[in-house]
Amino acid sequence: MSRFKKSKFNPETLQIEVISYSVKDYVWWSLRNIGWIVLVGTSSILLFDFAFDSPKDRVQSREIAFLESQISRLENDIDEMVSVLDNIEVRDDAIYRTIFGTDPYPEYRRNPGIGGADRNRALRGYDHTDDISDLTVRVAEVQRRLVAQSRSFDEVIELANTHEERLNSIPAIQPVRNYDLKRVASGWGNRFHPIYKVMKFHYGMDFSAPTGTEIFATGDGVVVKVRRSYTGYGRHIVIQHGFGYETLYAHMSKTLVVKGQKVIRGETIGLVGNTGTSVAPHLHYEVSKDGKKVNPAHYYFNDLTPAQYEILLQNAEVAHQSFD
């Protein structure tokens, strides 16, 4: 039988007849064979891909493993940097800035907040999105803290460069020598005014001493006021020391400096007197820091022993009436 013919049983004649293939038979045969080929081919490819990695897949797998190990290493490196940065910030506030007597670096400047659009939008949609996004956020945080710490160190360096000048400017001695004092007539706090006969807050200290007793500048600075008045402070001097410090010396009998003159700690600037609103010869002395009057007794650390300092405070507390 020809390869292009087929046998078919004829029920009417009850005989097997040989007939030629039709076009439909050829189409069906072709589609069936193609289907088998596709099925076998696809199955083979899927089985091969499932059971074996291609060279390209093996290269990509190694690269992914390498990148994941690098992500882990970077996370550890960032942890170490954060730990070191924490330590530096603590030392900056607790040691360096304490040495120079300044406030800790503000927290809002160390850790400024950031807002706005999603900065990691381009990283979304990948298998390692969360890891990379977290690393990006932490690196940005470390960068901000490093910039802030750098600025803080700039301030500390400036403090170090001006440290000697700052120390010399602090009003750190008594304005009248101890052996010239009769007594500390009045200290800081509420006192009974000798003239107005009312309780008033006394913003300074009164040192009782004979008229003509020398008065000393308590720190380096520039004389910004020399004034004579028949009331209030009487003859008085104001010295601006810089770094926020200012001192006032009142009720003098004589001033020995002029406005604009530079003075150094311990230099004689005037003599004790009884001018202005005063009932006895004395020096009224005030200290201001950053525009606010403060207790002068807190600054007598250059020429007083701890015992002398305690006695000074006790005497100032006992005095219930000021001299002005």
Q: What is the pLDDT along the chain (324 residues), one digit of tens a residue?
A: 445 666 666 677 766 766 666 677 777 877 888 888 888 878 777 776 666 666 677 777 787 787 778 888 888 888 898 888 888 888 888 878 877 777 888 888 887 766 554 555 655 555 566 777 788 888 888 888 899 999 999 888 888 888 888 888 989 888 998 776 666 656 666 665 555 555 667 788 888 899 999 999 999 999 999 999 888 899 999 999 998 999 999 999 999 999 999 999 999 999 999 999 888 899 999 999 999 998 888 787 555 566 665 665 565 555 555 556
DSSP 183-241: EEEE-SEEEE-TTT-SEEEE-SEEEE--TT-EEE-SSSEEEEEEE--SSTT-EEEEEEE
Dist. CA 165–CA 221, nearest whole Å: 10
Task: Compute the C-alpha angle 243/246/249, nearest 5°.
Answer: 155
Is the residue at 323 inside a domain? no
Task: Compute the C-alpha angle 292/101/188, nearest 5°.
Answer: 35
The reply to whether 139 and 208 lie within a common domain is no
Dist. CA 86–CA 80, nearest whole Å: 10
The answer to whether residues 305 and 311 touch, using CB atoms and an 8 Å cutoff, is no
Give the model's pLDDT for residue 92: 86
Give the model's pLDDT for residue 231: 87
Is the residue at 324 inside a domain? no
- Residue 281's domain comprises 169-318
Query: Residue 232 maps to which CATH number?
Result: 2.70.70.10
Can you list the pairs that 103-110 forms with residues at least 24 positions away whose Cβ atoms lie under 8 Å?
Answer: 105/148, 105/149, 105/152, 105/155, 109/148, 109/151, 109/152, 110/145, 110/148, 110/149, 110/152
Dist. CA 251–CA 237, nearest whole Å: 9
Is the residue at 290 inside a domain? yes
Give the model's pLDDT for residue 299: 80
Give the model's pLDDT for residue 41: 78
Whether the model pTM is above 0.85:
no
Give the model's pLDDT for residue 44: 73
The reply to whether 282 and 256 lie within a common domain is yes
Contacts for 311 with CB less than 8 Å, ≥ 6 apart: none
| Count of domains forming the chain | 3
Give the model's pLDDT for residue 262: 96
Give the model's pLDDT for residue 1: 46
The reply to whether 125 and 142 lie within a common domain is yes
The reply to whether 129 and 216 lie within a common domain is no
Dist. CA 273–CA 194, nearest whole Å: 17
Is the residue at 292 inside a domain? yes
The reply to whether 150 and 186 lie within a common domain is no
The reply to whether 66 and 46 lie within a common domain is no
The reply to whether 257 and 306 lie within a common domain is yes
The reply to whether 173 and 313 lie within a common domain is yes
Residue 273 carries which DSSP code? B
Q: Which of 219, 213, 215, 191 is nearest to 299 (CA)?
A: 219
Amino acid at position 164, single letter: E
